[in-house]
A and B are shown apart, each in its own frame.
Chain A
Amino acid sequence: MYDDDVIAAIATGYGASAIGIIRVSGRSAFEILKKIFTQQPPYKHRYLHYGHILNKDSSIIDEVLVSVFEQPHSYTGENSFEINCHGGILVLNKILQRLLESGARLAQPGEFTKRAFLNGKLDLSQAEAVEKIISSKTERALKIAQRQLRGRFSSKLDTIREKILFLMAENEVIIDHPDEDLSSISFEKKIETVRNIQSELKNILKASELGNTLFEGILLAIVGKPNVGKSSLLNILTGTERSIVTEIPGTTRDVVSESFVIDGIPFTILDTAGIRKTEDVVESIGVQKSVEAIHKADMVLAVFDATKKLEDEDLHIIEHIKNTNKKTLAVLNKTDTPSLICKSDIPFDNVINISCKTRDGLEKLEDSLSKLSLGEIEDSDIVSLNANQKESIKNAIDICEQLIKDIENNIDPSLIAVDLIGLTDYLDEIVGKITNEDMLDVMFKNFCIGK
């Protein structure tokens, strides 16, 4: 709490936005920048530096502008820089992750401000306010994080905690009560417990990846035979203005324009270029394109023409969707003119009538898209972890591996204890702090000790 180690955090909001900023501060901030940035030092105070942030394998994460502030002339009073990158949680998280790998740690809520204060950048009256911010922010952040975690994973986290405590208690009983005649737990049993903990941790990590795809946006395939109205639907959903902007090739907006947001959920439409092309040219390639899109998509929006009977192409698409078992919303377009088919002719659970021309049923469409995707969250164990928590779980999974090896090699219990304490340190925030008292409680409850 008095350190000048390098801290990093995403400074912009988590919602969809065109650009994002990551702020980094600390004594050796520029050494970290050097490791991940194509532009090498010297960095010039108060200047913007253009370049790319690179992965470890030198692949490009993003094209960025980095503003550099030398101590003491920065917000925190320390060496610091800000990475201006493209918006969207995926890019931001990747860059943050890269920073953490390279020696930065995730900032606590309010930590930049605290450092600013400690380095004399704020006056006393500001400082009073800072205190309140620090406390309310930290506690709120903690509560939110815990609530999120506890909601879905409550019982699993409790089980992990219990298992760790039991392993610790069992290990400590062997150390501190060597005279006791205790039926010791077999190697196999211990290893099985560690494997269990490890696989539960992996599950949580996996679930958080799922949560991330949600943040990144749901990949939506708009499919249907040519001339069914896919292009109009696309333009309505994304907003016509934007689609005009996309006419200018090579701009970053190009990417943004293929997305739209409903109830805070970002949707990304697959192969929009293909949709426009096939609609215009009226080719049979259209169906083939649709099939490809269904494969890539998280969700499918299947468009049918209410003025025509279902044709082979429609049936082909329907069959294909059914085979992939993807979540599907079917729309019956052109309902402004007399229809030849109705909702019951379409073999999907969710079917709605719309008219791109009159814009009838559009609200219903948005509502259904939102519900269908939200339903997905509720049905599965999605959890949102911050970069720090994810890092901790990964480390914990690694320690489990070490622990298994150490148990197999019959390593001394006082050293096994080091692994176990490492495990609890990493899982502190996730399963709740494990104190020696907690361990003793479990020990006395489970082992009959006492000379």
Chain B
Amino acid sequence: MIYPKKYDVVVIGGGHAGCEAALISSRLGVNTLMLTIALDSIGAMSCNPAIGGLAKGHLVKEVDVFGGEMARNIDETGLQFKILNKSKGPAVWSSRAQADMTAYKLRMKYILEQQKNLDIKQETVDEIIAEDNKIIGVKTNIGNEYLCDSVVVTTGTFMKGKIFIGLNEYEAGRAWEPPSKKLSDSLRELGLRVGRLKTGTTPRLDARTIDFDSLKLQPGDDEPVPFSFKTTNFNRPNIPCYLAHTNEKTHKIILQNLDQSPLYSGMVESMGPRYCPSIEDKVVKFFEKKQHQIFLEPQDEHSTEIYADGLHTSLGYEVQLKFLRSMKGLEEVEIMRPGYAIEYDFVDPTQLKHTLETKKIKGLFLAGQINGTSGYEEAAAQGIIAGINAAFQMQKKKLFTVGRDEAYTGVLIDDLVTKGTKEPYRMFTSRAEYRLILREDNTQLRLAEKAFKAGLMNKEHYEMVMEQKAKIQEMVKKLKTTYIFPNDDTNKKLQALGTKIIKTKTDLAKMLRRTEINYENLIELNPNLEKLEPFIKQEVEIDLKYEGYLNLQKQQIEKFKKYEELKIPSDFDYNVVGGLSNEVRGKLMEIKPSSIGQAIRIPGVTPAAISIIVVHLKKSNDKRYKSTA
């Protein structure tokens, strides 16, 4: 049947990208439908039971500022919270939490169910219907047709998903759930390039059969910090993980049974993630390493299932059991679910705009693993951007894009649409050029204005952030203009603080730049200085201690922006530009960069080619040159 209710936005998939897309689109007031293969799997964690981690924590916080749910959801369902890299500089502090997988997905489903403007249905989408390169609707496995203006596709690993356990293979989207067999063909028919990627997961073990006493305890932080800037009354448990190790015997078993691995027998040829190699890869490639770490993580507060992180494997069940039992603490272990490798279809993301809409089909948005990424956080960040833009397009608002200079979300999307990917793409802090500025701690400070202007943050919250910002600026200024003098009293205090005495009048900002001095010490030196709440204090310290580096990056950003602002019209004809090599011309025509800045980042596009395009843009009339693509 053609379903009588017409939707503005249809979201295909209920994973981490789908949930954010559906929630934000309905929160922005447009009629949204989520279609999922399995209602019970909404918000499911297919792999590790954790949210956040290096660079991923940044993404979660950005999604939070843009009005997303991931941060709030983990704050309500986390089992332990930790700030990684706390001993290093603030730019690379990253939050991570272990999640109660079951609680996580149930709460997410609940939130979706409470959401106004959002319907949720369990159906499999087989076909996306478009006419004249514009979305009309979708058709499902039970013959329903839903008419809509936009579709957000978030299929994860489900499109033509194929699972490998040893030499056994079967079609599945996630462990035991049916794949989506037809959708990627439909995308191909719409003219999109579809490729294949591989990833894997680890065996789940029975906690009752693990000797935890012989393993190293890994608890979370004693004073846990929540992800979301909206979370109050934060009160979560601190359930530990455990550290186990492989040994030479384990490695021997793996090496002896490589013929049982579809990765080594040639059954799986697609590219897997290099940062998340299977245990067989680790043993083969780093032969000299005598042991590898295995993190045993709780999956669920009320279950005995344990996730064995670091043991991604596609080896057969028998081999898995054998090598697991070769490890200390796991001698008697029972597998509850085996690890597996999974191969799936993805869409080459260079076919997308920065809004995550396909260049080809108006109203077709893609988010998450379908774009070649990996990770819940990467998925959520894309989901929210796709959802916002699907809604904004409906509302005829200016579409929402995020720059590399603004957020990790911007780096992620720009990398995908500009360079594409050959392996499942994971976020790293090293990918962000302006890492010192794009920190977790200042996520709200740097994005509140953008979020508020786009209608993603309410006024009250925005004003609160602006007050913080003003306070920080005021304090930085104050410390730069408040002085201490080289008298006995001051120098005695300085000595007591274990820092050098001063010989001339010195401002407090300069004192704070000393590694061993913090804001509290400044109060000792100048009792008139006001007490600050911890967040303000922390930001003032970061701003002053890293001022030189931050200013350097700000200058780099200014330069970067200059090129970003040189827009290239989307109908710019590279064929009329003389002097470009065929290779460069081909790349430019394929990627259709929206700005000179993006064109510079396309691999293989030479500085000479850029000069030529700039000359040409200038030649076309100035008005068009300035207009946005």
Query: Do A178 and B607 have beta carbons less than 8 Å apart?
Result: no
Residue B88 at the chain A interface, CB threshold 8 Å: yes
CB nearest neighbor in A for B295: A451
Residue A124 at the chain B interface, CB threshold 8 Å: yes
Taken together as a complex, chains A and B put the C-alpha atoms of A132 and B546 apart, in Å, by 46
CB nearest neighbor in B for A117: B615
Which one, B97-105, B153-161, B320-328, B428-436, is touching chain A?
Answer: B428-436
Which one, A57-65, A293-301, A411-419, is touching chain B?
Answer: A411-419
Instruction: Give a binary string over B78-91; 1 marks a CB under 8 Å from any A CB, 0 the rest.
Output: 00000011001101
Residue B614 at the chain A interface, CB threshold 8 Å: yes
Listed A/B pairs (30) with beta-carbon separation below 8 Å: A2-B566, A110-B611, A114-B615, A117-B615, A127-B615, A127-B619, A128-B578, A134-B612, A135-B580, A135-B609, A135-B611, A138-B606, A138-B607, A175-B85, A175-B92, A176-B430, A177-B54, A178-B54, A178-B84, A179-B295, A180-B293, A413-B88, A413-B89, A414-B91, A418-B436, A440-B430, A448-B286, A450-B275, A450-B310, A451-B48
Residues from chain B with Cβ under 8 Å of A436 in the complex: 430-431
Contact among A117, A172, A414, A415 with B428 in the assembled complex (CB-CB below 8 Å)? A172
CB distance from A133 to the nearest CB of B (A): 9
Residue B561 at the chain A interface, CB threshold 8 Å: no
Query: Do B608 and A139 have beta carbons less than 8 Å apart?
Result: yes
Taken together as a complex, chains A and B put the C-alpha atoms of A174 and B92 apart, in Å, by 10
Residue A439 at the chain B interface, CB threshold 8 Å: yes
Residue B567 at the chain A interface, CB threshold 8 Å: no
CB contacts under 8 Å to A, within B372-431, are 419, 428-431
Taken together as a complex, chains A and B put the C-alpha atoms of A179 and B606 apart, in Å, by 39
Taken together as a complex, chains A and B put the C-alpha atoms of A156 and B285 apart, in Å, by 28
Taken together as a complex, chains A and B put the C-alpha atoms of A207 and B174 apart, in Å, by 61
Query: Do A448 and B578 have beta carbons less than 8 Å apart?
Result: no
Residue A285 at the chain B interface, CB threshold 8 Å: no
Residue B178 at the chain A interface, CB threshold 8 Å: no
Taken together as a complex, chains A and B put the C-alpha atoms of A130 and B54 apart, in Å, by 48
CB distance from B605 to the nearest CB of A (A): 12
Query: Do A2 and B614 have beta carbons less than 8 Å apart?
Result: yes
Query: Do B428 and A176 have beta carbons less than 8 Å apart?
Result: yes
CB distance from A107 to the nearest CB of B (A): 12
Query: Do A415 and B580 have beta carbons less than 8 Å apart?
Result: no
Instruction: Give a binary string over B275-300; 1 marks a CB under 8 Å from any A CB, 0 the rest.
Output: 11100001001100100110100000
CB distance from A422 to the nearest CB of B (A): 9
CB nearest neighbor in A for B616: A131
CB contacts under 8 Å to B, within A391-440, are 412-415, 417-418, 435-437, 439-440
Residue B610 at the chain A interface, CB threshold 8 Å: yes
CB contacts under 8 Å to A, within B343-382, are none
Taken together as a complex, chains A and B put the C-alpha atoms of A2 and B596 apart, in Å, by 11
Taken together as a complex, chains A and B put the C-alpha atoms of A49 and B85 apart, in Å, by 61
Residue B464 at the chain A interface, CB threshold 8 Å: no
**Number of A-B pairs whose CB atoms are under 8 Å?**
127
Residues from chain B with Cβ under 8 Å of A415 in the complex: 89, 436, 546, 549
CB nearest neighbor in B for A418: B549
Contact among B435, B566, B579 with A131 in the assembled complex (CB-CB below 8 Å)? B579
Taken together as a complex, chains A and B put the C-alpha atoms of A134 and B549 apart, in Å, by 36
CB distance from A150 to the nearest CB of B (A): 18
Residue A345 at the chain B interface, CB threshold 8 Å: no
CB nearest neighbor in B for A129: B578
Chain A interface (Cβ within 8 Å of chain B)? 1-2, 108, 110, 114, 117-118, 124, 127-128, 130-132, 134-136, 138-139, 142, 172, 174-181, 412-415, 417-418, 435-437, 439-440, 444, 448-451
**Given A414-B89, A414-B91, A415-B549, are A139 and B435 also a contact pair (CB < 8 Å)?**
no
CB distance from A184 to the nearest CB of B (A): 13
Taken together as a complex, chains A and B put the C-alpha atoms of A439 and B430 apart, in Å, by 9
Query: Do A131 and B615 have beta carbons less than 8 Å apart?
Result: yes
CB nearest neighbor in A for B309: A451
Residues from chain A with Cβ under 8 Å of B91 in the complex: 414
Residue B562 at the chain A interface, CB threshold 8 Å: yes
Question: Which of the listed residues B285, B293, B566, B596 has the most CB atoms from chain A within 10 Å of its own CB?
Answer: B293
Taken together as a complex, chains A and B put the C-alpha atoms of A179 and B286 apart, in Å, by 18
Query: Do B92 and A413 have beta carbons less than 8 Å apart?
Result: yes
Residue B505 at the chain A interface, CB threshold 8 Å: no
Residue B626 at the chain A interface, CB threshold 8 Å: no
Query: Do A417 and B275 have beta carbons less than 8 Å apart?
Result: no
Residue B577 at the chain A interface, CB threshold 8 Å: yes
CB nearest neighbor in B for A173: B430
Query: Do B293 and A414 have beta carbons less than 8 Å apart?
Result: no
CB distance from B442 to the nearest CB of A (A): 14
**Given A436-B431, A448-B285, are A130 and B615 also a contact pair (CB < 8 Å)?**
yes
Closest 9 CB pairs of A and B: A412-B89, A138-B608, A135-B579, A448-B286, A444-B274, A414-B89, A131-B579, A172-B430, A414-B91
Residues from chain B with Cβ under 8 Å of A181 in the complex: 293
CB contacts under 8 Å to A, within B422-476, are 428-431, 435-436
Residue B492 at the chain A interface, CB threshold 8 Å: no
Instruction: Give a binary string over B545-584; 1 marks a CB under 8 Å from any A CB, 0 the rest.
Output: 0100100100000000011001000000000011110000
CB nearest neighbor in B for A118: B618
Query: Do B310 and A451 have beta carbons less than 8 Å apart?
Result: yes
Query: Do B282 and A448 have beta carbons less than 8 Å apart?
Result: yes
Residues from chain A with Cβ under 8 Å of B549 in the complex: 415, 418
Residues from chain A with Cβ under 8 Å of B562 in the complex: 2
Instruction: Give a binary string over B585-629; 1 marks a CB under 8 Å from any A CB, 0 the rest.
Output: 000000000001000000100111111101110110000000000
Taken together as a complex, chains A and B put the C-alpha atoms of A118 and B617 apart, in Å, by 10
Residues from chain A with Cβ under 8 Å of B419 in the complex: 437
CB nearest neighbor in B for A168: B430
Residue B306 at the chain A interface, CB threshold 8 Å: no
CB nearest neighbor in A for B552: A418
CB distance from B134 to the nearest CB of A (A): 36
Instruction: Give a binary string over B93-120; 1 marks a CB under 8 Å from any A CB, 0 the rest.
Output: 0000000000000000000000000000
Residue B61 at the chain A interface, CB threshold 8 Å: no
Residue B204 at the chain A interface, CB threshold 8 Å: no
CB distance from B314 to the nearest CB of A (A): 14
Residues from chain B with Cβ under 8 Å of A110 in the complex: 611
**Given A2-B562, A2-B566, A138-B611, are A132 and B428 also a contact pair (CB < 8 Å)?**
no
Residue B525 at the chain A interface, CB threshold 8 Å: no
15 more CB-based (< 8 A) A-B contacts, given A172-B429, A450-B310: A117-B615, A117-B618, A118-B614, A131-B612, A132-B578, A135-B611, A172-B430, A176-B92, A176-B428, A179-B84, A414-B92, A414-B435, A448-B286, A449-B277, A451-B48
